[in-house]
Structures are given as structure tokens and as C-alpha cells.
Structure 1
Amino acid sequence: MMKAKKAFTLILSLFLWMVAVACVSVVVALSIWFHSIKPVTSIEEEYVGKITVPAGTSVRQIADTLEKEKFIRSSRILYIAVRFNLFDRSKAFTLKSGTYTLRSTMSLKEIYELLQSGEQEYINVSVPEGLTKSKIGRILEEKNICTAMEFLQSCSDEKLLSEYRIPGLSFEGYLFPDTYFFIHGMKGEDVVRTMVDNFFKKISEIPSFVDMDRQRLHEVVILSSIIEREYRIKDEAPVIASVFTNRLRHNIGLYSCATIEYIITEIQGLPHPGRITYKDLKIDSPYNTYMWAGLPEGAISNPGTVALEAASNPAKTNYYFFVLTDPTTGRHTFSTSFDEHKAAENTNYVSK
């Protein structure tokens, strides 16, 4: 009887000890939990930052990053909350890639909800008319959208060019200048697709492009890329287009300094020249419109709507020459004969 009583007492003591340990463990766990889900700082000490979640990132990886950047107190607690859906038992957690703006005053639950909301931080990227693909690539890299190299590789991707039925070596000319809203860490291909899709959307709104076949479109894009670099005043763009169109019709060289600049800066990779020299005009390149008649091999810039409309619907004129008349306003003098052009050239310092 005594042995049974002692055994019972021992079991009871052990049970009570285990209950006590369990209670202490629960209290400690709850204390850690409630401490860990609190914001890292108060309003007075708040700091803001951006976190990029690339596609394929694991919850553990992003949790470690958040703790390292001091936006959460414990990566382990966030992982446990995600693993067991502790903040929302009705649905499984889904981590969505993108760039998010975080504040140190956000609770763990707020961060948990933000990371699966898809409410990304978009980056405003303005691409002016007349830039080349390499200059656009540099802007994208500076904005941390993608690397310039990845963008340029996508611009020359044969499979992608074939998909869009572009009969050229790159998407130069088809990267429509506009304001875009991108996100950090985009693929170069996705950026190119966005800009090219925008190009085709824009030209679909221009009547002169309706039913235009791809080869004709490619020629118009090349011509418009030159016009983009030559015109300064909108109402002169169709007239400049007429000069080039008249020259093309009679197999006369376009004589555009813009194509020489493209060779020097984009093909040779040299600094922008202060002036074009006679030696430059002799550079052996399919882009040299002083050496070869017809259009160059490809576009030399990415034109906007004004240049595209001008190239697809040039003015009807007998002009074959133009010269800058007023550098301040950007006005040109247009001529039908070489003698008229030389007379205008003698009173002005820039000629075409």
C-alpha cells in the first residue's frame, strides 16, 4: 500500500512538474511571439527602405533579408508564421515577387500581408525620343530595373525578333519613347516586350500605318529614326521627311550627319564628336549615308510619334536640301537645287 502511495505521489509530482514546465514554456513562447511581432522602432525612430523579392525567392531567404535590414525582429518567427499560416488560417501564404516599400514601424503581420499583396513599388522611367538602345539600357541599369547588358542582349534576341516579325538585327527603332512604370529586377526581355508592345499600339493609332507590311514598316522605322535626330520643330518634320524621300527616290545619298554620329558613338563606342570631320565621312559602314545611297542597315534611334508620322506620310515637295537657319528656334531653310543650298549654306553654319 505504501509503495503504491509513493508511486502515485511520484507520478503526480512528475506530472505537476511537466505541467509547470509546459506552462512556463507557453509563457516564454508567447512572450517571444508578442515581442517578435511588434514593430522594430517607434514612430519617432522610423526609417523607410525598399526590399526586392526576385522571382523564385524562398520565404526563408526573404525573412533573413528582412531581419538583416532590421525590418523584423526575428526571421525564424516570420518563417513559422508563414509555415503555419498563423496570421490568416483561411488561406495559404503566397510570396509574390516585386519591390516593396517597408517602414520600421510596420508590425510583422503588416509585413506578412504586404509580401503576398502584390502591391509593388513601381519605378517611373522616362525614355525621351531619339535615344539609342544602349542609352536606354544605361537608364534602366541606373534605375535598377535590369542590367544594360541583359537589356541589349534581349534587343538582339533572334527568337524574340522572329516572334514580332522584325526583319532587322535588333529592336533599335521599335523601343517606343514614353514614360513607363517598371519594377526592380525585371528581365530584360520583359522590358523589351513592354516597349515594343507599346510601339505597335501607338502606330495602330496612326492612319498611315494601317495595313503596312513588315518590310515597309521596317523601312519607315529606319527613316523615322533619322528624321527624329534631324528635326527640331514639329511642323518641319514632314518637310525633312520629304527631302529624304526625294533623295531615296532618285538614289541620292541621304547625307545625314546623325548616321555618322551613330557609327562613332554606338558602333565604334567612342565619345560623341564635337564636330563631324571629312575623315569621319569616309568611315566604311553600312550606316554611312555619305558613302552609300539608300537607307542605312538599321535604325539609328528610337523615334517618337512625330517622326513616325512624318516618315510614313511625308510632305509633297521638290526639296532635296535643308540647312539650319536659326539655331535658336531650330528653323531650317529648304532648297530644290544645289546652288540654292550652297547660297543658304554660306550664310549658315550647319548643312544637310
Structure 2
Amino acid sequence: MKRGLLILLGIIVLVGGYLGYRAQRIIWAPNVVSLEQSHHLYIEPGTSYEELLLQLDTLLIHREYFELLAEWKKLPHNIKPGKYAISSGMSNNSLVNRLRAGIQEPVRLTLNMAYTLEDLAGQAGEALEPDSLDFLKYLKSEEVLEDFKISRKELPGFFLSNTYEFYWITSPHDFVQRMLRESERFWQSRTALLEKSGLSRHEVITLASIVESETARPDEMPMVAGLYLNRLEKGIKLQSDPTVIYAMKIEDPDLIVQRVYTKNLDIDSPYNTYLHTGLPPGPIRIPDPRSIDAVLKAQDHSYIFMCADPDRPGYHSFAQSLRQHNINKAKYHRWANRNGIR
């Protein structure tokens, strides 16, 4: 009797040990293959459990162990779309918990050199799960204006060139909402400067977009901003070539313009600042925060004319008088003609 009991206890211990070993292998043992570099798993909305298993197939050492734990933790009914970081040697427990809880890896989205909503949608669609057409459709819809109580001309001004972190599955609505929140945060720290400028946010953003289109040199931006503020104060047309180019590209988005000629200056558009006094209806590009600050901290001077300076690529020659401006302009035209710029 005693011997039989000992045998039974021995069997129980062996079975318990085996079950513990199996549990350890299934739950906590490493089950992701060795990866030479960080790997990301992208789960699209609507992905089924079977499709998820296919994506994981080459990453798992023992797929059957993963499936056992996934079923037990009800992962098949709790699949959350997103971008997930997968690392070498992850256990099934870590992987299942990450996927079931939706612990995503953020993606970096850089908004830069965006002139139109199409550019903006393209950059967002390249980094995030929704297609660029989904972003563009929302940005051009009446829905976005109703959702955030803004006007069509104000919308581009809420997007600031910068690098942001988003979750991969961010929707067009949530993307705009985040951009408006970032815009508010940006302007809260510039309240005093904005009041001192005497301009509205929209006016500052619109002027900043012109300044940034005129010069890529941050150290020259305050000088250019001061020039345009002088012209606005005196009621002189801004006569900014980039606004003409913007008007031309509204009519033909694929048009490549290297030089603005006199014949281009009569294009009928509210963005043509050679025809219309004051600022155009809205920004001609998505401005960088540096160009906005250049307007808010514009340099105080008496210049009202400027022309590209061939002796300093990227910079301009400034003038107070039309006579000096014509001299500067003639110098630039000679240089452009010699270099075949058309």
C-alpha cells in the first residue's frame, strides 16, 4: 500500500514537472527567432487571426506554442491594428500581451516643403496607415470644416512644418485634431508677440509662407519679413513672385516655374500680389515655425524692394529706392541670362 502511494506521488510529481516545463515553454520561454535588426509588425484594420498568424509565421520558433497561449488569452477576438515592435527572443506572453493590449510603436511623420493640401496628404499617407487619398478627401471635405469649426482658407495654417510622432493607424480626423492641438500649443507661447505685431494668426501664417518662399536662409527671414511689413503699412502691393507662381500652379499643378516673367504678372488670381494689394487669402505653403517667428520678430528697417543677389546665392539685395532696386534687378537679369535660367 505504501509503495503504491509512493509510486502515485512520483507520477504526480513527474506529470506536474512536465506540465510546468510545458507551461514555461509556452508562456515565458523565448519564442521569437533571432533578428539582425529591429522588426515591426504592421496589422491593418480588419486583419483576421488567420492573417495575423501568417504574418507571424516566419518570426516564431514554435508557432503552435504561440497559438495555444493566444487562444487561452483570447487574442483571436482582441486583435488591434497598429505598428508593433518585435524583438529577438520575445516570449509568447510578452508578444500576446503587446498585441492584445494594442501597445503600439509610434511612427515619425515629418511635414516639410508642403505647398498644398495634396502635398500634406501625400506626406501623411506615406507615413500612416490611411492612404494619401483618404487624407486628401477629408482635408478637402466640408466635414473637416464642420468638425473643427474653421474656414477653408484658415485650414492650411493649422499645419506647421515639423517632425511629429503618431500611431500608424491615426485616422485623417485624428491627424487634423492633433495638428490643431499642436498649433494651439505653438501659439500659446507667442501670445505677446502676436499682439505686438498687430496681425492675426492667419495673417502672420500667410505672410510667413511668403517669406519662406522668398528665402531659404533663416538669418535673412526677419529682414524679408520687415520689408513686406513695410509695404503693407504703406499700402504698396507686395509684388511677391512666389505668390504668382502659386497662382500659376493652381491652374496647372504640374507646371515647373524657374523664373517669373512680366507676362506672368497679370494672371487673374486673388493670390497674385502684383494685382492685389495686401496679403493673399491664405498661405501659399505650409510654413516652418522659423518663418513664423521671423514675422513675429521682423527686423525694423526702411527697405521696400528686394531682388535675388547673384553674388550671394540664396540671399537678396535690398533697396529703399526704386532706382537702386532697378540697378540690383538689372544685375540679376544679366546673371540669369548668362546662366540660361528661363
Distance 1:263 1:36, change over 3 A: farther
Are the aligned partners of 1:241 and 1:311 in contact in 2 as well (CA < 8 Å)? yes
Q: 1:180 deviation in Å?
A: 0.9
Report the aligned-residue RMSD: 3.7
Distance 1:232 1:83, change over 3 A: closer
Give the Cα separation in 2 of the matches to 1:145 and 1:96: 13
| Residue among 81, 89, 105 paired with 2:72 | 81
Give the Cα separation in 2 of the matches to 1:238 and 1:83: 59
Report the secondary structure of 2:255's partner residue: coil
Q: 1:94 deviation in Å?
A: 5.4
Q: 1:340 deviation in Å?
A: 1.4
In structure 1, the gaps of 5 or more residues are 1-29, 86-92
Are the aligned partners of 2:308 and 2:316 in contact in 1 as well (CA < 8 Å)? yes
Distance 1:218 1:48, change over 3 A: closer
Per-residue Cα deviation, 1:125-179 (whole angstroms, up to 9, x for no partner): 2223665432232222222443222223333454544565544435212211111
**Structure 1 residue aligned with 2:194:** 209
Distance 1:341 1:95, change over 3 A: same
Distance 1:308 1:165, change over 3 A: farther
Per-residue Cα deviation, 1:56-104 (whole angstroms, up to 9, x for no partner): x5xxx4421222121453596466323399xxxxxxx955442113358
Q: Which amino acid aligns with 2:314?
A: G
**Structure 2 residue aligned with 1:292:** 276
TM-score (norm 1): 0.73
Q: Which amino acid aligns with 2:244?
A: I
Give the Cα separation in 2 of the matches to 1:84 and 1:172: 41
Give the Cα separation in 1 of the matches to 2:26 and 2:212: 58
Q: 1:34 deviation in Å?
A: 9.5
Q: 1:304 deviation in Å?
A: 2.2
**Structure 2 residue aligned with 1:312:** 296
Report the secondary structure of 1:180's partner residue: strand
Q: 1:341 deviation in Å?
A: 0.6
Q: Which deviates further from its counterpart, 333-342 or 279-288?
A: 279-288
**Structure 1 residue aligned with 2:13:** none
Q: 1:53 deviation in Å?
A: 3.6
Distance 1:317 1:103, change over 3 A: closer
**Structure 2 residue aligned with 1:7:** none
Report the secondary structure of 1:346's partner residue: helix
Are the aligned partners of 1:99 and 1:122 in contact in 2 as well (CA < 8 Å)? yes
| Residue among 48, 52, 70 paired with 2:42 | 52
Q: Which amino acid aligns with 1:323?
A: C
Q: Which amino acid aligns with 2:49?
A: A
Distance 1:97 1:253, change over 3 A: same
Q: 1:46 deviation in Å?
A: 7.7
Distance 1:257 1:84, change over 3 A: closer
What is the number of equivalent residue pairs in this alignment? Answer: 310
Give the Cα separation in 1 of the matches to 2:297 and 2:23: 69
Give the Cα separation in 1 of the matches to 2:324 and 2:235: 20
Report the secondary structure of 1:172's partner residue: helix
Q: Which deviates further from its counterpart, 180-189 or 100-109?
A: 100-109
**Structure 1 residue aligned with 2:5:** none
Match runs of 1:118-267 below 5 Å: 118-128=102-112, 131-161=115-145, 164=148, 166-169=150-153, 171-206=155-190, 207-209=192-194, 216-266=200-250
| Residue among 28, 50, 56 paired with 1:64 | 50
In structure 2, the gaps of 5 or more residues are 1-19, 337-342
Q: 1:219 deviation in Å?
A: 1.7
Q: Which deviates further from its counterpart, 34-43 or 126-135?
A: 34-43
Name the larger-Rg structure. Answer: 1
Give the Cα separation in 2 of the matches to 1:167 and 1:41: 51
Q: Which amino acid aligns with 1:209?
A: L
Distance 1:145 1:289, change over 3 A: farther
Are the aligned partners of 1:130 and 1:228 in contact in 2 as well (CA < 8 Å)? no
Give the Cα separation in 2 of the matches to 1:142 and 1:180: 14
Are the aligned partners of 2:213 and 2:242 in contact in 1 as well (CA < 8 Å)? yes
Are the aligned partners of 1:63 and 1:76 in contact in 2 as well (CA < 8 Å)? no
1:345 aligns with 2:336: no
Give the Cα separation in 1 of the matches to 2:247 and 2:309: 26
Q: 1:115 deviation in Å?
A: 0.7
Paired-residue identity, %: 24
